[in-house]
C-alpha cells in the first residue's frame, strides 16, 4: 500500500468531523423519505393488484371451462325434453298401427285425431307455435307466397288461403306459412 492510500484510510475514519446537514439537504432527505414510503406503498398495491389479476384469470378460465362443459352437455342432451314429449305420440301411433286391422273407420279417425292432439300439445310445451295467417296482411318475413289470386272480397295483399301453416319456436321462424295472396281484380 502506498503512503497516500494509508494516510487517506486512517484520516477518513479516525478524525472524521461530524457532518452538518444543510437546511435544503434536510428537505431533500424528507422528500426522499416520503418518496421511498410512497414507492413501498405503490409496490404493495401493485402486488395486491397482481394477485387480484391472477385470481381473475383463474376465475375466467374456470368460467370458460364450465361454459364448455355446459355446451357439450347441451349438445348431448339438448333434445332430451323434445324426445320425451314425442314419445307419447309414437306410442299412440304404434297402438293405432297394431290395432288397425281390428278397428273400424270411425275409431281409426278418432285415434288419428287424438294422436294429432298429443303432437300439438307436445309442440306447444316445447314453445312451437302455429302460424295461421288466414285473412291477415301478407308478411314476407313470416309467409311464403305460393301464388296470387284475384279476389273481389279480400283486401289486396291479404292472405286469401293458407296452403301449409308455418311454425315459430319461441318467436323464431321455423317454417314460413305457405299462402295464396289476394290481388285486386283486373
pLDDT digits (tens, 9 = 90+) for 47-96: 999 999 999 999 999 999 999 999 988 888 888 888 888 899 999 899 88
User: pTM for this one?
Assistant: 0.58
Give the per-residue pLDDT at 74: 86
Cα angle for residues 164, 169, 170 (degrees, 5° grid): 135
Number of H helices, E strands in the chain: 4, 6
**Average pLDDT of span 13-33:** 75
Please indicate, yes or no, whether residues 108 and 145 belong to a single structural domain of this protein.
Answer: no
- Residue 18 within a domain: no
Rounded to an integer, what distance in angstroms lies between the CA atom of residue 156 and that of residue 151? 8
The per-residue pLDDT for range 167-178, each reduced to its tens digit, is 999 999 999 999
- Residue 11 above 70 pLDDT? no
> If you ran DSSP here, which 8-state letter would residue 181 be given?
E
- 3-state SS, residue 180: strand
Give the per-residue pLDDT at 25: 85
Give the per-residue pLDDT at 16: 67
Rounded to an integer, what distance in angstroms lies between the CA atom of residue 160 and that of residue 186? 17
Please indicate, yes or no, whether residues 149 and 108 belong to a single structural domain of this protein.
Answer: no
- pLDDT band per the 50, 70, 90 thresholds, residue 140: very high
- Residue 43 above 80 pLDDT? yes
CATH number, position 181: 2.30.22.10
Please indicate, yes or no, whether residues 140 and 180 belong to a single structural domain of this protein.
Answer: yes
Give the per-residue pLDDT at 77: 82
Give the per-residue pLDDT at 144: 96
Give the per-residue pLDDT at 157: 93
- Residue 137 above 90 pLDDT? yes
Transcribe 120-177 into DSSP letters: HHHHHHTTEEEE--TTSBP-TTTEEEEEEEE-SSSPTTBEEEEEE-EEEETTEEEEPE
- Residue 179 within a domain: yes
The per-residue pLDDT for range 155-167, each reduced to its tens digit, is 999 999 999 999 9
**Average pLDDT of span 29-56:** 95
Please indicate, yes or no, whether residues 144 and 173 belong to a single structural domain of this protein.
Answer: yes
Rounded to an integer, what distance in angstroms lies between the CA atom of residue 164 and that of residue 176? 9
* Summary mean pLDDT of the chain: 87
Which is more confidently placed, 100 or 13? 100
| Residue 115, all three cell numbers | 294422436
Please indicate, yes or no, whether residues 134 and 159 belong to a single structural domain of this protein.
Answer: yes
Residue closest to 160 by CA, chosen among 175, 176, 182: 182
Give the per-residue pLDDT at 8: 45
- Residue 10 above 50 pLDDT? no
Please indicate, yes or no, whether residues 154 and 185 belong to a single structural domain of this protein.
Answer: yes
Q: What is the count of structural domains for the chain?
A: 3
Domain span at residue 85? Answer: 80-126
Please indicate, yes or no, whether residues 84 and 74 belong to a single structural domain of this protein.
Answer: no
Amino acid at each position: 500500500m502506498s503512503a497516500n492510500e494509508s494516510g487517506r484510510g486512517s484520516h477518513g475514519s479516525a478524525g472524521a468531523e461530524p457532518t452538518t446537514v444543510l437546511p435544503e439537504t434536510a428537505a431533500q432527505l424528507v422528500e426522499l423519505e416520503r418518496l421511498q414510503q410512497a414507492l413501498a406503498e405503490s409496490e404493495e398495491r401493485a402486488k395486491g393488484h397482481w394477485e387480484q389479476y391472477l385470481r381473475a384469470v383463474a376465475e375466467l378460465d374456470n368460467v370458460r371451462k364450465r361454459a364448455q362443459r355446459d355446451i357439450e352437455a347441451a349438445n348431448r342432451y339438448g333434445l332430451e325434453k323434445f324426445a320425451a314429449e314425442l314419445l307419447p305420440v309414437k306410442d299412440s301411433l304404434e297402438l293405432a298401427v297394431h290395432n288397425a286391422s281390428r278397428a273400424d273407420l270411425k275409431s281409426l279417425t278418432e285415434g288419428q285425431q287424438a294422436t294429432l292432439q298429443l303432437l300439438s300439445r307436445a309442440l306447444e310445451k316445447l314453445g312451437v307455435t302455429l302460424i295461421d295467417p288466414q285473412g291477415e296482411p301478407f308478411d314476407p318475413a313470416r309467409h311464403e307466397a305460393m301464388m296470387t289470386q284475384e279476389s273481389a272480397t279480400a283486401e289486396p295483399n291479404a292472405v286469401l288461403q293458407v296452403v301449409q301453416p308455418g311454425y315459430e319456436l319461441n318467436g323464431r321462424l321455423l317454417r314460413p306459412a305457405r299462402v295464396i295472396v289476394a290481388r285486386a281484380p283486373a
